[in-house]
């Protein structure tokens, strides 16, 4: 990042580096821009042009989006469900991840192996059994039903991340805590969790996005507006012989913009807590 | 003391294990058991058929194609894709100007629904007005323009691009891990006269090994579950050029209502997952407790 | 210790939130009563931008009014046709079906019948002459199995093709072709005039393209027509099928747009609506699009003509209708039967026609003057279709559902020449065999 390097090789390297970063940013921004532009285009514009500015800026797509689908209600449900899932998931899986990273007990390897199988089981295999479980728990068409399922769906990733995060924390830290007379639980919450903020934030992000974007279970496990989530609202705009792409992309924009804001603020929090130096030995 | 600790271990594990039992155990058992049965949506009873599902699966040329496609995609994702995300993380952790912006922006494609992402790439690759062909034509390479997603020769790489470029998860994970590395280690390397590149290669990367291994496992399992982006863009075609195991499974499950056969493919996916995770753990030494 | 307290507090808060989220699971999909009213939960894909959404909403309103205090329908919107099928299949797999299901173009009836979950309506229909009269010969075929009536249709599928009169004029073509030779000659003329003759597609089971294919098969010879009338045919390796696929290959290669290959219905429709192509095979539900200015230009509707296929062929068949599933509570079954009867009555069919230009399932329902005014193209087409000599259902309605994906995968290879017509038919037969 030192800009006054004289060495030409270093300069080339720096240039390449910036080029790479810029390329990544463009690649990441392109879909967003495309969706945003499309939310102002007419159906025929969307279907007959590539990258272009809309002929006119009007908000009819947004008005249609709000008229055709209960998107705001679904949005609120999504925020609540994804929020709770994120918190519960990260809390539970950091506990489990800690135990797997640090404790010895009989059958540990086998249990971990069994748990990680859940990462590769095909979704279609889950559909029928999960439907039956949720139904028999009287949780069909409730937010709690979705929260339960999403917490489980995001389990393998969070476990993986939290375990490897705790493995990366020097043992000396907790040993010192034990010497000071801290118990197991206190050591975990007061010493280990603050050190694992990076991992916590990452699994939180993943769990949030995982439940934010999930479609299949939201479809199968809900029937009314009280529990449905955002991805379902996007289906309102295309049917076999009828479509309203303008409204579809307006809906996608409505779904994306606030999440980016939340996301940016959330990350800022995490970064500042990280750089505050909680991890210094 | 020992007993209270044991109790806490049980308490810490209990919710996770309960979730597993509730949501995953039964499906896992069903997948394995019914792969030995003739089990269809339309039949009221299942009949034991031994290995016959496996025999017809392994003899099916479509399966061979789907299997090799899946393997190739896993390899690409675990190496190039994770490499790209890691490279970006290695640049960003030094807090270059705008690094927070880049970090947030790079996650955006993961927030946009797959249905929309699929349509964006259908638009980019559209043979009549797509961006790619327009660019080629404007730089005088019009003869290279083609129907990228539907040409047997280009469909596979074209579909790969739909997810390949967006390594937001990898960057986020590796970056957070890099930010928590003790800065004194980096300082020490600098004092020893290591160049920034050397520091990254010989100090940083080894420290990030476990997290990179973790992202590889994630990338591999992502490819083992990859379905909708392919289904929306090529539907597995032309022919079977872009069919992978989840698409094949979906065909048996939804098209043929043949759940036994679908679950046989499911068993193959689970076994592949186990193998891939074992390999990555071995290569990246993820399970070593040493710091 | 303070931090631990904070954590505990937050946990308590979350638990509170969570329990707040689980609203009482009152009347789910199995129908229970409140103040003696029987509640029917009816999941439907006919919502959102689906053209029938308005009609279904209106019927529900009327039904609830008519049976106030006795029955009540609660709509469960499942936007997206495939989402609907997916969800019904999951419920079918767990034996937990809603009381009324619309079979639609997805042949859900046979799936539910295989599980023995469908209520036999024969007695009820026979006992009600008004209901019975709505069943035409074709409707009986579509909705009964082994001589028993299980379902009741509301809508017919009457499909020909649309053409752009302005483009036909430009190429010097006077009227739609009467024979296939003439049709291909017209394609050639259009092409020479610099006009792309056909809108076609290959993605999402290639709806538009398979309409041309089926028309070619049905008019080739007697056994071709028999093939089209067979439910779940398995042998695609027949001379008439191969001949038809060869012609479709030619159409894909020479007479359509670049983006037909890999294109969806939306693309094909847009190419026609924007005046880029001269013809598109499709049903009357498209007529509304001709006046929709977000999809096409002003006055486009004036340029559109409608036609039946060469050799006097038209797709004409009732769409599989509503059926009642077996319920533990006989009262719910009774209510469900009332609903099916109401939703497929002459009144309901008339309503669909007047509101949205939906073709009625029964030919006893006549095109009203109101509908004629509102949808002139529709009444013109219904008259044309009445004179067609050959009629049958479309291929997609009768083929094994796994072939829908096969078609989408193999048509691009047919176009590029990776496989020939014979190869295409062999793959279709091979995949059809996977169902046995």
When mean pLDDT is compared across A182-196, C57-71, C202-216, C375-389, the lowest value belongs to A182-196
Select the residue from B133, B134, B237, B249 to test the C interface by mutation, using most C Cβ atoms within 10 A.
Answer: B237
Q: What does the pLDDT average to over A44-63?
A: 85
| A4: three-class secondary structure by DSSP | coil
Per-residue pLDDT reduced to its tens digit, A142-187: 999 999 999 999 999 899 889 888 887 888 888 888 888 888 888 8
Closest residue, chain A, to C273 (C-alpha): A44
Does position B286 have pLDDT exceeding 90, yes or no?
no
| C280: three-class secondary structure by DSSP | strand
Strands C313-318 and C390-392: parallel
Contact, B92 vs A267, CB < 8 A?
no
Select the residue from B232, B239, B260, B263 to test the C interface by mutation, using most C Cβ atoms within 10 A.
Answer: B239
Give the residue with greater pLDDT, C315 vs B176.
Answer: C315
Which residue range(s) make up the domain with B272?
A: 63-115+155-284
Nearest to C49 among A139, A190, A239 (CB): A239
Beta partners for C161?
A: C281, C307
Measure the N-to-C terminal CA separation of chain C; round to a whole number of Å: 67
Contact, C350 vs C360, CB < 8 A?
yes
The answer to the question of residue B51 being in a domain is no
When mean pLDDT is compared across B276-290, C79-93, C109-123, C271-285, the lowest value belongs to B276-290
Q: Judging by beta carbons within 10 Å of its beta carbon (0-12, 13-18, 19+), is residue C101 exposed, middle or buried?
A: buried
The answer to the question of residue B203 being in a domain is yes
Six-digit token pair at A255?
């779904």
Strands C148-149 and A242-243: unpaired
Nearest to B128 among C204, C258, C403 (CB): C258
Domains of chain C: 36-155+319-366 (3.40.190.10), 158-315+383-433 (3.40.190.10)
For residue B122, which residues of chain C lie inside 8 Å, CB to CB?
262
Rounded Cα distance, A148 and A153, in Å? 9
pLDDT for C34: 57
Beta partners for C101?
A: C323
When mean pLDDT is compared across A50-54, B136-140, C270-274, the lowest value belongs to A50-54
The answer to the question of residue B56 being in a domain is no
Which residues 6+ apart lie within 8 Å of A250 measured at CB? A39, A59, A61, A62, A64, A65
Rounded Cα distance, C255 and C248, in Å? 10
Are A198 and B286 inside 8 Å of each other by CB? no
Task: Name the nearest CA neighbour of A256 among A41, A28, A64, A26.
Answer: A28
Per-residue pLDDT reduced to its tens digit, C341-350: 999 999 999 9
pLDDT for A265: 77
Task: Name the nearest CA neighbour of A192 among A110, A263, A99.
Answer: A99
Six-digit token pair at C340?
């099916």
Does position B228 have pLDDT exceeding 60, yes or no?
yes
pLDDT for C32: 59
Distance from CA of C410 to the nearest CA of B (A): 5
Select the residue from C83, C87, C286, C294 to test the A interface by mutation, using most A Cβ atoms within 10 A.
Answer: C294
Nearest to B240 among C257, C400, C409 (CB): C409
Per-residue pLDDT reduced to its tens digit, A103-138: 888 889 899 989 988 888 888 888 888 998 898 899
Rounded Cα distance, C410 and B149, in Å? 13
C-alpha B46: how far from chain center: 33
The answer to the question of residue B267 being in a domain is yes
Rounded Cα distance, C216 and C212, in Å? 6
CATH of the domain at B88: 1.10.3720.10
How high does pLDDT run on average in chain C?
Answer: 89
Task: Name the nearest CA neighbour of B224 among B175, B261, B262, B276.
Answer: B276
| C98: three-class secondary structure by DSSP | coil
10 Å Cβ neighbour count for A38?
A: 26
Give the dihedral sign, CA C294/C299/C303/C306. positive
Rounded Cα distance, C343 and C356, in Å? 15
Q: Which chains touch C (3 or more CB pairs under 8 A)?
A: A, B
pLDDT for A148: 95
Which residues 6+ apart lie within 8 Å of C2 measured at CB? none
Measure the N-to-C terminal CA separation of chain B; round to a whole number of Å: 27
Contact, C424 vs C353, CB < 8 A?
no
Does position C23 have pLDDT exceeding 60, yes or no?
no
Those of residues 194-253 in C touching chain A at CB distance below 8 A are: 207
Which residues 6+ apart lie within 8 Å of C225 measured at CB? C218, C219, C390, C392
User: What pTM was computed for the model?
Assistant: 0.89
The domain total for chain B is 1
The answer to the question of residue B43 being in a domain is no
Rounded Cα distance, C129 and C116, in Å? 27
Beta strand spans in C150-292 (E): 151-152, 156-164, 196-198, 277-282
pLDDT for B287: 66
10 Å Cβ neighbour count for C179?
A: 12
Contact, C266 vs C184, CB < 8 A?
no
Task: Name the nearest CA neighbour of A120 among B32, C68, B18.
Answer: B32
Does position C419 have pLDDT exceeding 70, yes or no?
yes
| B182: three-class secondary structure by DSSP | coil
DSSP code of B256? S
Per-residue pLDDT reduced to its tens digit, C45-98: 999 888 899 999 999 999 999 999 899 999 999 998 889 999 999 899 888 899
The answer to the question of residue B8 being in a domain is no
Six-digit token pair at A55?
């002929």
The third-level CATH classification (topology) of the domain covering A69-243 is MetI-like fold (1.10.3720)
Six-digit token pair at A4?
């006054």
Contact, C412 vs B237, CB < 8 A?
yes
When mean pLDDT is compared across B198-202, C203-207, C330-334, C338-342, the lowest value belongs to B198-202
């Amino acid at each position: 990042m030192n800009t006054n390097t004289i060495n030409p090789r270093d300069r080339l390297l720096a240039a390449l580096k910036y080029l790479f970063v810029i390329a990544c940013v463009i690649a990441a921004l392109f879909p967003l821009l495309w969706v945003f532009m499309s939310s102002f285009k007419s159906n025929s514009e969307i279907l007959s042009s590539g990258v272009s500015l809309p002929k006119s800026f009007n908000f009819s797509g947004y008005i249609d989006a709000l008229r055709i689908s209960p998107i705001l209600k679904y949005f609120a449900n999504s925020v609540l469900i994804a929020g709770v899932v994120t918190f519960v998931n990260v809390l539970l899986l950091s506990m489990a991840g800690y135990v797997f990273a640090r404790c010895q007990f009989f059958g540990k390897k086998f249990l971990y192996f069994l748990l990680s199988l859940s990462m590769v089981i095909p979704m279609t295999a889950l559909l029928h059994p999960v439907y039956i479980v949720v139904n028999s728990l009287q949780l069909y068409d409730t937010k709690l039903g979705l929260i339960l399922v999403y917490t489980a769906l995001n389990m393998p990733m969070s476990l993986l991340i939290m375990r490897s995060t705790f493995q990366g924390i020097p043992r000396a830290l907790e040993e010192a805590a034990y010497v000071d007379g801290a118990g197991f639980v206190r050591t975990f919450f007061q010493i280990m969790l603050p050190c694992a903020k990076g991992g916590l934030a990452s699994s939180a992000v993943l769990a949030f996005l995982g439940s934010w974007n999930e479609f299949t279970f939201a479809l199968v496990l809900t029937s009314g507006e009280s529990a449905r989530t955002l991805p379902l609202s996007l289906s309102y705009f295309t049917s076999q012989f009828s479509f309203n792409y303008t409204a579809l992309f307006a809906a996608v924009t409505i779904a994306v913009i606030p999440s980016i804001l939340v996301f940016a603020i959330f990350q800022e929090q995490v970064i500042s807590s990280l750089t505050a130096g909680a991890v210094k030995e | 003391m020992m007993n209270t600790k044991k109790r806490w271990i049980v308490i810490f594990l209990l919710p996770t294990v309960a979730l597993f039992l509730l949501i995953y155990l039964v499906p896992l058992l069903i997948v394995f058991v019914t792969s030995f049965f003739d089990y269809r949506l339309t039949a009221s009873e299942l009949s034991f058929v031994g290995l016959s599902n496996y025999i017809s699966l392994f003899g099916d040329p479509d399966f061979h194609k789907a299997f090799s496609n899946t393997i190739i995609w896993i390899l690409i994702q675990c190496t190039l894709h994770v490499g790209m995300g890691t490279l970006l993380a290695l640049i960003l952790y030094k807090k270059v100007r705008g690094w927070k912006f880049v970090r947030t922006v790079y996650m955006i494609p993961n927030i946009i629904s797959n249905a929309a992402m699929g349509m964006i790439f259908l638009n980019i690759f559209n043979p009549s007005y797509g961006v790619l062909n327009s660019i080629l034509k404007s730089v005088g390479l019009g003869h290279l323009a083609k129907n990228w997603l539907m040409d047997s020769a280009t469909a596979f790489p074209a579909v790969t691009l739909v997810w390949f470029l967006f390594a937001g998860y990898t960057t986020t994970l590796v970056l957070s891990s890099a930010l928590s590395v003790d800065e004194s280690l980096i300082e020490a390397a600098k004092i020893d006269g290591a160049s920034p590149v050397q520091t990254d290669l010989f100090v940083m990367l080894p420290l990030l090994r476990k997290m990179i291994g973790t992202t590889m496992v994630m990338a591999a399992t992502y490819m083992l579950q990859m379905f909708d982006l392919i289904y929306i863009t090529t539907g597995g075609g032309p022919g079977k050029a872009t069919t992978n195991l989840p698409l094949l499974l979906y065909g048996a499950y939804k098209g043929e209502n043949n759940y036994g056969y679908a679950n046989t493919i499911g068993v193959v996916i689970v076994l592949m997952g186990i193998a891939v995770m074992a390999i990555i753990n071995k290569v990246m030494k993820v399970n070593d407790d040493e710091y | 210790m303070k931090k631990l307290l904070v954590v505990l507090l937050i946990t308590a808060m979350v638990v509170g939130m969570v329990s707040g989220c689980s609203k009482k699971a009152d009347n789910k999909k199995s129908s229970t009563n409140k103040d003696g009213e029987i509640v029917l939960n009816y999941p439907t894909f006919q919502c959102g931008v689906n053209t029938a959404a308005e009609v279904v909403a209106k019927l529900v309103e009327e039904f609830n009014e008519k049976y106030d205090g006795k029955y009540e329908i609660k709509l469960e919107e499942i936007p997206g046709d495939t989402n609907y099928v997916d969800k019904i299949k999951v419920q079918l797999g767990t034996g937990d079906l809603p009381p009324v299901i619309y079979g639609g173009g997805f042949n859900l009836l046979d799936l539910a019948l295989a599980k023995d979950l469908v209520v036999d309506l024969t007695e009820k229909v026979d006992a009600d002459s008004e209901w019975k009269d709505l069943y035409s010969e074709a409707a009986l075929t579509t909705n009964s199995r082994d001589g028993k009536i299980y379902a009741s249709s509301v809508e017919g599928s009457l499909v020909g093709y649309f053409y752009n009169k302005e483009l036909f004029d430009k190429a010097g073509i006077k009227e739609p072709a009467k024979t296939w030779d003439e049709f291909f000659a017209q394609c050639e003329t259009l092409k020479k005039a610099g006009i792309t003759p056909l809108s076609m597609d290959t993605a999402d089971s290639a709806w538009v393209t398979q309409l041309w294919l089926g028309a070619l098969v049905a008019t080739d010879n007697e056994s071709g027509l028999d093939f089209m009338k067979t439910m779940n045919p398995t042998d695609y390796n027949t001379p008439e099928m191969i001949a038809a696929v060869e012609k479709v290959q030619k159409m894909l290669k020479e007479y359509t747009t670049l983006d037909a290959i890999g294109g969806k219905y939306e693309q094909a429709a847009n190419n026609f609506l924007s005046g880029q192509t001269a013809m598109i095979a499709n049903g009357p539900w498209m007529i509304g699009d001709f006046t929709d200015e977000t999809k096409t230009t002003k006055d486009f509707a004036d340029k559109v003509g409608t036609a039946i296929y060469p050799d006097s062929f038209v797709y004409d068949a009732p769409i599989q209708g509503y059926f009642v599933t077996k319920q533990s509570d006989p009262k719910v079954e009774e209510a469900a039967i009332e609903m099916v009867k109401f939703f497929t009555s002459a009144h309901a069919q008339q309503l669909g026609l007047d509101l949205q230009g939906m073709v009625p399932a029964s030919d006893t329902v006549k095109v009203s003057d109101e509908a004629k005014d509102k949808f002139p193209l529709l009444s013109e087409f219904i008259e044309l279709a009445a004179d067609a000599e050959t009629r049958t259902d479309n291929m997609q309605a009768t083929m094994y559902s796994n072939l829908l994906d096969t078609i989408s995968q193999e048509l691009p290879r047919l176009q590029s020449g990776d496989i020939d017509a014979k190869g295409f038919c062999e793959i279709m037969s091979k995949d059809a065999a996977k169902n046995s």
